[in-house]
Structure 1
């Protein structure tokens, strides 16, 4: 689908304070995410212009002309149109797994309340609900990763594999986000990315392990315990990585850019 004034590449939902408050501070998964990442901006449903601009710049810098970005917007009809016109994956996958993903993630789980930041490869759409640049660029990284694949259908199918399917794409998107901040010589956001994306990756690992747990009355307790351990481990690893990079941070190209800026 081509973008124009009636169908812009970037759209934002109308603010509804009550709904957004429920989605941010009442919905249990949102509260857990805030604690897990230790940042109230996760799924806060109020996205600043600065955060939106990071994703816009990322998409334009990487020439991702076909991806749609929705900022805190629930638009199931428009998402179905994008799914209908999508030619990025095999039609069989699109109308089976893709349709199921659309019904669950884009219709039933109303993003304004239950939504988490995610990328839908079947409709090639990014959904953003958090006000953290590292998170939104991470989602942009998924769209870039998918766009670069020769066999997109197989890659999309691989992501749907239980337990292990998300590990590689999530790591790749996080790495790309960190590299992008370095490319922009943006030390502040790069350091924040280590503190944000590493514990977030821990949550994916925890989810994969939880899928292996047998059904029992204590399954939920075990799952949240695993999540706490995995996220805490991610925080530790991210903190160590951040401190390592702070010592050796300034890339040569950023030093050159800084010198040129001083001479202006």
Structure 2
């Protein structure tokens, strides 16, 4: 989660208009873009640094959190969106466990060896 928050910091620091970017969160669905970008930044960082176990944890935590932002943007009850978020999380983790990441030494659920 801290890497996700660092992703927000990166996005704001790279923005030509950080105040406008911050205020844009009040617009419907704009927070979804910002949250998605921060989550993607976190996962890309973990993958590039071969932090396999942490990446798996990110897939467990980030989709349910994102679904609450989706619910908020849609004006819905957050709990009803959190449940599908957990279901997506389980699916992503299962796919991740079967993903071959040769640059990190991970091959089809057989674990990984650190470089």
TM-score, normalised relative to structure 2: 0.82
Which residue in 1 is equivalent to 2:18? 152
Superposed displacement of residue 196, structure 1: 0.4
Superposed displacement of residue 249, structure 1: 4.0
Superposed displacement of residue 167, structure 1: 0.7
User: Cα 1:227–1:249, aligned 2, differ >3 Å: closer, same or farther?
Assistant: farther
TM-score, normalised relative to structure 1: 0.38
Question: Is 1:246 aligned with 2:97?
Answer: yes
- Structure 1 CA distance for aligned equivalents of residues 24 and 79 of structure 2: 27
Which residue in 2 is equivalent to 1:115? none
**Greater helix fraction, Structure 1 or Structure 2:** 2
- Structure 1 CA distance for aligned equivalents of residues 42 and 17 of structure 2: 23
Q: Where does the alignment leave 5 or more consecutive residues of structure 2 unmatched?
A: 106-112
- Structure 1 CA distance for aligned equivalents of residues 38 and 102 of structure 2: 21
Report how many aligned residue pairs link the two structures. 108
Question: Runs in 1 of length 4+ with deviation above 4 angstroms?
Answer: none
Q: Is the deviation greater in 163-172 or in 147-156? A: 147-156
Question: Is 1:190 aligned with 2:41?
Answer: no
- Structure 1 CA distance for aligned equivalents of residues 78 and 18 of structure 2: 30
- Structure 2 CA distance for aligned equivalents of residues 249 and 176 of structure 1: 20
- Structure 2 CA distance for aligned equivalents of residues 232 and 193 of structure 1: 17
Q: Where does the alignment leave 5 or more consecutive residues of structure 1 unmatched?
A: 1-134, 211-222
Question: Is 1:207 aligned with 2:72?
Answer: yes
**Greater strand fraction, Structure 1 or Structure 2:** 1
- The residue correspondences of 1:1-264 to structure 2 (distance < 5 A) are 135-161=1-27, 163-210=28-75, 223=76, 226-252=77-103, 254-255=104-105, 258=113, 261=115
- Structure 1 CA distance for aligned equivalents of residues 2 and 100 of structure 2: 23
Superposed displacement of residue 251, structure 1: 4.1
User: Cα 1:148–1:251, aligned 2, differ >3 Å: closer, same or farther?
Assistant: farther
Superposed displacement of residue 147, structure 1: 1.1
Which residue in 2 is equivalent to 1:60? none
Superposed displacement of residue 185, structure 1: 0.8
- Structure 1 CA distance for aligned equivalents of residues 69 and 18 of structure 2: 22
Superposed displacement of residue 155, structure 1: 1.6
